Chain A
Amino acid sequence: MAAILRFRKLCFLEPVKSFEKPKNDEKQSFEQHPEIERVLEKPKSKKTKKQPKEWRCLDSCCWLIGYLCTSWWLLLFLCNFLPGLRVPEAPGVRLKRDGLTALHPVVLVPGIVTGGLELWEGRPCSEGLFRKRLWGGSFTEIFKRPLCWLEHLSLDNETGLDPPGIRVRAVPGLVAADYFAPGYFVWAVLIENLAKIGYEQKNMYMAAYDWRLSFQNTEIRDQALSRLKSKIELMYVTNGYKKVVVVPHSMGVIYFLHFLKWVEAPPPVGGGGGPDWCAKHIKAIMNIGPAFLGVPKTVANILSAEGRDVAFVRAIAPGLLDSETFGFQTLQHIMRVCRTWDSVVSLLPRGGETIWGDLNRSPEVENICYTSKARYLQSSSKESNGNDTDARRSFHVKELPRYGRIVSFGKEKSELPSSQLSIIDSKEFVREEGASRNSNTSCGEILSEYDEMSRKSIKKVAENDAYTARTALDLLRFVAPKMMKRAEAHFSHGIADDLDDPKYAHYKYWSNPLETKLPDAPDMEIYCSYGVGIPTERSYVYKLSSSDKCKSIPLQIDSSAYGSDNGCLKGGVHFVDGDESVPVVSAGFMCAKGWRGKTRFNPSGISTYVREYQHKAPASILEGRGMESGAHVDIMGNVALIEDVLRVAAGATGAELGGDRIYSDIMKMSERINIRL
């Protein structure tokens, strides 16, 4: 609409001029502006021939708009009244015909970002937004009052809770995360299919929580965990003592891990449900796109507030994001806001070098880098052997990418053998306060902690050529000390040596699958369902940012770094197989190995199943986001996944679904990870 308006305005200008000037009839003005005169001459001469010209432009604009509107309405009308386009049958309808009906209550746990947030109390600038969505929905407020919006979404830098005078809360109920934005479904398709076999509000619950907070803080501030517990207990009782099926997505997976430990722990820290609560109330946990062991993307996000997409934009239009055109440094502001969100830290890679590989080796060493061509072939040839050999061939040509180096400075450094790298012990990093840099006074408000750092210490950071999953944490502690200090009181990223150590009773370990035991519930089932077949960010090539201005982020992804033809390295990012956000290792390892059988992480031998869904891009634009997508969020519309969820909710066990279903190398990768089980 805005574009049309602007177009109209352009059209307006000319007739207005031609309107006024002849009336004035003052030669002076013509002489002063000869260009105008010349412009005016032409229409004038035409005008004398034909009817009054001053109407034409305005008229034709109006006509055009009217024409567009009318045809738009006509189409809309037709669209509404024509019988709907033949859509393939929803899995829910098919399964209902097979006789499936609602049996176990279902709990949905949304992930980070997808849940809506609404305003309950705000500063004067947010007048009129009471109980309106700030996050999710149409995001109109970003455009109307961006700074106000950012201020309200930030949390307190010290406590990680609400800033004084601002209360932003999670939207409750199914509406919290059914659609993220209008037309962009998250849970809606799954909900609709569940409803087809008889689910409704009484046996379906969306455990919405404020995804910005650390998990324990959702309980402290909102009693979100207590509420979840009470809802599960209520549904268990009112649905004839049927255990619930929990379906967490993305970060919801580790949120629910936290819940499992919380509910068993004694009050006041825990929920006081006792050690058999889970065995009594939970039938299965169907993790979708689980980020069990973290996501490398998070490192880049905290380090420089960019992912692949942002780096790409920056490469195309270098000035745009850094410019001060809008008097508004987008990235810096985003960074500042993100760094107040504790939950981001929960997604940092866990398990250090044991899981994610060290300077030389990584579990994904044989990973196939899909070029776009290969991907196309794959979708057309339907997992035929051809693609496998094709990819294998491409693997033989290339040298091994060293995925273990999550952050490396410079493309060569990411490829050199470790002996040639200069590795500095992180203890040598000395944080010099930013006196040597542009003084704070000239920069005004401090946006990120980078402003407090001197240029020299940043250079020092870059002198260490490569960081692994373990040292990357040190790096983050160095560049973002406040955030890490705050958040590490709530999250831990290590591997436990002795799980019986009483220190692991602390809540900061609860969301880390490598530092907790699963509950004592031998009948429970855990599924790891995730998409494969999409290049997923795994490690980054960084460079020092060239601009030395204040308030700019000194590090950025080196988007000029491209690998040789096979394309594992693209735009400064190394890719592996995954679902676009979560690499296969993170999503599948726990189910494929860490918890498989009776291990020390899974003492009661809960059965685990790995269910992978091969990504297939939508065949045509009519399909929207695809029925067979494997992408992190789009997978929620994947027919095969929905069918699995429905079957389990209707009472099936993992064995009845067909046990594991694997397309990737997750089993081989897991073999390579040496962890004591």
Chain B
Amino acid sequence: MSILRRRKGTENKKTEPEYEEFNDENKKSNGSSRRLRRRRWSCMDGCCWFVGCICSIWWFFLFLYNAMPASFPQYVTEAITGPLPDPPGVKLAKEGLRAKHPVVFVPGIVTGGLELWEGHQCAEGLFRKRLWGGTFGELYKRPLCWVEHMSLDNETGLDPSGIRIRPVSGLVAADYFAPGYFVWAVLIANLARIGYEEKNMYMAAYDWRISFQNTEVRDQTLSRIKSNIELMVASSGGKKVVIIPHSMGVLYLLHFMKWVEAPGPMGGGGGSDWCAKHLKAVMNIGGPFLGVPKAVSGLFSAEAKDIAAARSMAPSFLESEMFNFQTLQHVMRMTRTWDSTMSMIPKGGDTIWGGLDWSPEEGHECNEKKPKNNTTQTAESDRTRKSDNATRVKYGRIISFGKLVADLHSSEIERIDFRDALKGKSHANSTCRDVWTEYHDMGIGGVTAVADYKVYTAGSVLDLLHFVAPKLMKRGSAHFSYGIADDLDDKKYEHYKYWSNPLETKLPNAPGMEIFSMYGVGIPTERAYVYKLSTAGDCYIPFQIDTSAEGGSKSPCLKGGVFHIDGDETVPILSAGYMCVKGWRGKTRFNPSGIRTFVREYNHAPPANLLEGRGTQSGAHVDIMGNFALIEDIIRVAAGAAGEDLGGDKVYSGIFKWSERIKLKL
């Protein structure tokens, strides 16, 4: 229905001339009867006529569309762009590859669908309908109700009373995120070409809002994954599974691998050789092993690059009370109840992400948006070439207040420690009580104290978050940890909160297993932020990204208050690649059994034209799931190939050099 209405809007222009033409003709041919006609064609009739016209045209097109043979779009595309390459599944099926190892998908954050199982009065009629994913129709119809249902309990991080939102199960959980926006669908279709089907393909859908251990506590998701993997191994004649996690699913799988070995009741009781027996390879796609800087800005001010840009264009829009609805605050309140967002806070502190005056990516040059065709060839040399006239970006400072501060040397910055500052009491509490973010418990004193500290590195950002959102971080730190282990044999590392941190766990004892790290490169990715104090009143989030901070030609990496680095638009290369390049390479203390690791980078090439949709060579975080080269790699491994058969590492970026700079005991 909504499509019809929208259609009406767009069609307006097309049909109006017709209408006028017909009026003109009337005037000419029968001036005398004009009055008669007008009376008979009242406004109401005209409207009806108009609606009818549009509907008929719409139906006609719909009819044509339905009658059109299914191969027509492909035919048109081929006529314009020349013959398309075979999809990898078809190509490899011709080569004789057949389904061999069962495949398990682990979706990431946000991409999995969530459906309602029990709700409050306002969610009447939505039983087993998708609240997350699909068309998001309910978001428009009843936004407050939607936010209420998507939020979790603030204290426990589990369901609020009377609400049960559960992940959609099966392949449908994350094949398409919204109609037409594929996530896993392309990969699934290609795997099906070489003989995969429901029985040897499994989507390990989980509720991505709650902390990893809570998915087991509440839904027994980890047990279910374990049982399914065991079943698939048994029913495929002992063939081990290939696991393909994406985005946050990578961390979830790390957690799973520790959980499955740990003894019950906290763990799955699979024993120390479970992974060796059941897993052939783990093919991480765009894995934020060491976290994502985006998560910090998301938690700190509920904004990322996109929202900051929207805010700068229409400053009052998001903050207005036009709809009696403070959008950002509501979003913040909702996302802050999601424990899982905290799994992606940068891990490893200053050792990994750089201190005040150094960062592993130092010397990275952001190439301006040159003609895109050239970038693919010159990008490599550009990226490695040191440029003297551009100032070195201090990526280590994940948050800095003011652009100037971001560039100064650390000795020149005056900093006042905020940790002991009094938060003060907010006097505005009474007026904006209905919107809950912890900022309302903070007075002006606290806010200025935060700003006075000026610069935060990956290590101190944690303290900052603890300061501004104590409840949230208290809940989160019971489930996640962000440090680096000194002694991995310490008994404390048996606690589940360390399981998803690759720097505080050992990989399982499975020398036959392989770990792939596959990610896109060649897209500017958020790495550090320039903040400012928000000018708006008390009810608002007191900090926001300073979108006026532009680096200009001197440091092109800074755009709209965000320092960019190479990556896949979401995950910086460092986070995605470091573990496979260095942390786990060979026999290290994080990888005692010497599991082989491979880095596979995919250089981003934007789609050549609109017809290609989201491209077959994309390197963007989600679009990479449609990258033909990546799909081919996965299919080959699923059909039995080892990492060497694929050609080992495939690297475009400076990840090896950067990794060298990180001083970590291995």
**Do A and B interact?**
yes
Q: Which residues of A come within 8 Å of B, CB atoms?
A: 1, 4-5, 8, 50-52, 55, 59, 61-70, 73, 76, 84, 120-121, 127-131, 144, 167, 169-170, 172-175, 178, 191-192, 195-196, 198, 200-202, 222-223, 226-227, 230-231, 233-234, 237-238
Kindly list 18 other residue pairs between chains A and B, CB separation below 8 angstroms, not including A121-B192, A192-B128, A195-B128.
A5-B60, A52-B25, A52-B29, A63-B52, A65-B51, A65-B52, A66-B52, A67-B52, A76-B1, A128-B70, A128-B71, A131-B188, A173-B172, A191-B128, A222-B199, A230-B230, A237-B223, A238-B220
Q: Which residues of B contact A175 (CB under 8 A)?
A: 170, 172
CB distance A52 to B231 under 8 Å? no
Binding stretch for chain A, among B42-50, B330-338, B512-520: B42-50
8 Å CB contact of A201 from B1, B45, B169: B169
* Residues of B532-547 contacting chain A, CB below 8 A: none
- Bound together, the chains give a CA A343 to CA B30 distance in angstroms of 73
**Which residue on A lies nearest to B28, using beta carbons?**
A52
In the complex, whether B234 has a CB less than 8 A from a CB of chain A is yes
Contact (Cβ within 8 A) A238 B47: no
* Residue B125 interfacial (CB < 8 Å): yes
- Are the CB atoms of A172 and B198 closer together than 8 Å? yes
Known: A51-B30, A51-B37. A200 touches B164 (CB 8 A): yes
Residue of B nearest to A204 (CB): B117
**Residues of the A chain whose Cβ atoms lie less than 8 Å from the Cβ of B124:** 84
* Inter-subunit contact B56/A62 (CB<8 Å): yes
Judged by DSSP, the binding face of A is helix
Chain B nearest Cβ from A187, distance in angstroms = 11
Distance, CA A70 to CA B47, complexed state (A): 9
Asked whether A202 lies within 8 Å of B188 as measured between CB atoms, the reply is no
Show 23 A/B contacts (Cβ-Cβ < 8 Å), sorted by A: A4-B59, A52-B25, A62-B56, A63-B49, A65-B55, A66-B47, A66-B52, A66-B53, A66-B55, A70-B51, A130-B189, A131-B171, A131-B188, A167-B197, A175-B172, A195-B117, A198-B118, A200-B117, A200-B164, A202-B224, A223-B231, A226-B235, A234-B224
Which B residues touch A50, using CB under 8 A? 33
Bound Cα distance from A616 to B33, whole angstroms: 63
- Give A224's nearest chain B residue, CB to CB: B199
A1 to B55, CA, bound (A): 11
| Complex alpha-carbon distance, A68 and B228, angstroms | 52
Give B363 Cβ to nearest chain A Cβ, in Å: 47
Q: Is the CB of B71 within 8 A of A67?
A: no
Decide: A52 and B30 in contact? CB cutoff 8 A: yes
Do the beta carbons of B37 and A70 come within 8 Å of each other? no
8 closest A-B pairs (Cβ-Cβ)? A66-B52, A128-B70, A65-B52, A66-B51, A66-B48, A62-B52, A238-B220, A223-B235
Task: List, in ascending order, chain A residues with CB within 8 A of B60's CB.
Answer: 5
| Interface status of B26 (Cβ within 8 A of chain A) | yes
Closest chain B residue, CB of each to CB of A188? B128
Bound CA span A413–B127, Å:
55
A231 to B231, CA, bound (A): 9
Residue-wise interface mask of B (146-175) relative to A, using a CB-CB cutoff of 8 A (1 in contact, 0 not): 000000000000000000101101111001
A322 to B71 Cα, complex, angstroms: 34
Check if A69 sits within 8 Å of B52, measured CB to CB. Answer: yes
A66-B47, A67-B48, A195-B117 are contacts. A223–B227 as well, Cβ < 8 Å?
Answer: no
| CB proximity to A under 8 Å, residues B195-234 | 195, 197-199, 219-220, 223-224, 227-228, 230-231, 234
**Does B22 interact with chain A (Cβ within 8 Å)?**
yes
Complex-state Cα separation, A274 to B645, whole angstroms: 44
The answer, yes or no, to whether B63 is at the interface (CB within 8 Å) is yes
A202 CA to B71 CA, complexed, in Å? 40
CB-nearest residue of chain A relative to B22? A55
* In the complex with contacts A51-B29, A51-B37, A167-B197, A172-B170 CB distance below 8 A: yes
Q: How far is the CA of A104 from the CA of B171 in the complex (A)?
A: 26
B125: A residues at CB distance < 8 A: 84
Number of interface residues of B (CB under 8 A): 59
- Provide the residues of chain B in CB contact with A170, threshold 8 Å: 198
- Considering residues B37, B50, B56, which has the most beta carbons from chain A within 10 angstroms of its beta carbon? B56
- Chain B residues numbered 263-302 whose CB sits less than 8 Å from any CB in chain A: none
Instruction: Assess whether A230 is in contact with B47, with CB atoms less than 8 Å apart.
Output: no
Q: Determine whether the beta carbon of B231 is less than 8 Å from that of A5.
A: no
CA–CA, A226 and B236, complex, Å: 11
User: Are A8 and B127 CB-contacts (below 8 A) given A63-B45, A70-B48?
Assistant: no
Assess the B71–A127 pair: CB atoms within 8 A. Answer: yes
Minimal beta-carbon separation of B222 from chain A (angstroms): 10
The CA-CA distance from A178 to B170 in the complex, in Å, is 15
Task: Compute how far the CA of A304 lies from the CA of B169 in the bound complex, rounded to whole angstroms.
Answer: 41
Residue from B48, B52, B227 having most chain A Cβ neighbours under 10 A: B52
On chain A, the residues within 8 Å of B45 by CB distance are 63
Q: Which residue of A lies closest to B33 (CB)?
A: A51
Q: How far is the CB of A413 from chain B (nearest CB, A)?
A: 50
Tell me the smallest distance from the CB of B111 to a CB of chain A, in Å: 18
Report yes or no: B1 in contact with A73, Cβ–Cβ below 8 A. Answer: yes
Q: Which chain B residues lie closer than 8 Å to A227 at the CB level?
A: 199, 231, 235
Contact residues in A for B231 (Cβ distance below 8 Å): 223, 226-227, 230
On whether the beta carbons of A234 and B30 are closer than 8 Å, the reply is no
CA A230 to CA B49, docked complex, whole Å? 61
- CB-CB under 8 A from A169, the residues of chain B are 197-199
- Please state if B224 and A61 are interface contacts (CB–CB under 8 Å): no
Collect the chain B residues with CB atoms within 8 Å of residue A128's CB. 70-71
> Residue on B with the closest CB to A226?
B235
Cα A237 to Cα B223 in complex, Å, equals: 9
B53 near A62 (CB under 8 angstroms)? yes
Which residues of the other chain, B, contact A233 by a CB distance below 8 angstroms?
A: 227
Q: Which residues of A contact B235 (CB under 8 A)?
A: 223, 226-227
Which residue from chain B places its CB closest to the CB of A130 in the assembled complex?
B189
CB-CB nearest in chain A for B223? A238
> In the complex, what residues of B have CB within 8 A of residue A51's CB?
26, 29-30, 33, 36-37
Q: When the two chains form their complex, are residues B192 and A238 in contact, meaning their CB atoms are under 8 A apart?
A: no
Nearest-Cβ distance from residue B559 to partner chain A, whole angstroms: 41
State how many angstroms separate the Cβ of A300 from the closest Cβ of chain B. 34
A239 → B minimal CB distance (Å)? 8
Closest Cβ–Cβ distance, residue A157 to chain B (whole Å): 22
A54 to B203, CA, bound (A): 60
| B33 x A200 contact (CB < 8 A) | no
Could you tell me the distance between the alpha carbons of A4 and B55 in the complex, rounded to whole angstroms? 11
Which residue among B66, B198, B220 has the maximum number of chain A CB atoms within 10 Å of its CB?
B198
Q: Chain A residues near B47 (CB, 8 Å)?
A: 66, 70
Residues from chain B with a CB closer than 8 A to the CB of A55 are: 22
Q: In the complex the two chains form, is A64's CB within 8 Å of B52's CB?
A: yes
Chain A contacts for B30, CB-based, 8 A? 51-52
Nearest CB in chain A to that of B170: its residue: A173
